[in-house]
Amino acid sequence: MLTNRHQVTIEWGHCDPAGIVYFPNYFTYFDSATNALFLRALGYNKFEMIKRYGIVGIPLVDVGARFIVPSTFGDVVTIESTVAEVRRSSFRMQHRLLRGETVAVEGTETRVWVGRDPANPDKLKGLPIPDEVAAKLAG
């Protein structure tokens, strides 16, 4: 399966009064890392992907993380992201945030390929992941 490495510099404003990364920001890093992997896999970005396939996006249905070592302002970390599984209308990502060789955070995301429900455009609905997208995520 496809793997991508994405670098992040921890900013002052990402850290809380304890001086460490405010944990929800790790999910913004992982989200950016997923977008970076898609950009690399498809050759165009999420806005373009949404337009081409007429979808709303790839929202998460399930997410988890383990925080092993804190990071702080000034750290430059690498997020190693892997497509763990591609199913009919959903897929699973695995992320590892690395400080040098140390795994500082581990995370998983399950995302769905989502469009408007034709029966009710105010509702969202999982759609089959196009074959060429699935093939590119498989690497």
Tell me the C-alpha distance between 28 and 79, whole Å. Answer: 12
Is 12 near a copy of itself (CB under 8 A)? Answer: yes
Instruction: Supply the Cα-derived Rg of the chain in whole angstroms.
Output: 16
- 30 class by beta-carbon count within 10 Å (0-12 exposed, 13-18 middle, 19+ buried): buried
Is 32 near a copy of itself (CB under 8 A)? Answer: yes
Structure tokens at 69: 């070592």
Query: Who contacts 22 (Cβ-Cβ below 8 Å, separation ≥6)?
Result: 14, 15, 16
Query: Who contacts 70 (Cβ-Cβ below 8 Å, separation ≥6)?
Result: 20, 21, 104
CB 80 within 8 A of CB 99: no
Of the two residues 48 and 85, which places its CB atom closer to a copy of itself in the complex? 48
Of the two residues 117 and 138, which places its CB atom closer to a copy of itself in the complex? 117
Is 64 near a copy of itself (CB under 8 A)? Answer: yes
* Residue selected from 47, 100, 119, 131 as contacting a copy of itself according to rule CB under 8 A: 47
* Window of 60-68, 82-90, 95-103, 130-138 that interacts with a copy of itself by CB under 8 A: 60-68
* Window of 25-33, 83-91, 92-100, 128-136 that interacts with a copy of itself by CB under 8 A: 25-33
- Minimum gap (Å) between residue 14 Cβ and a copy of itself: 9
Is 22 near a copy of itself (CB under 8 A)? Answer: yes
Is 20 near a copy of itself (CB under 8 A)? Answer: yes
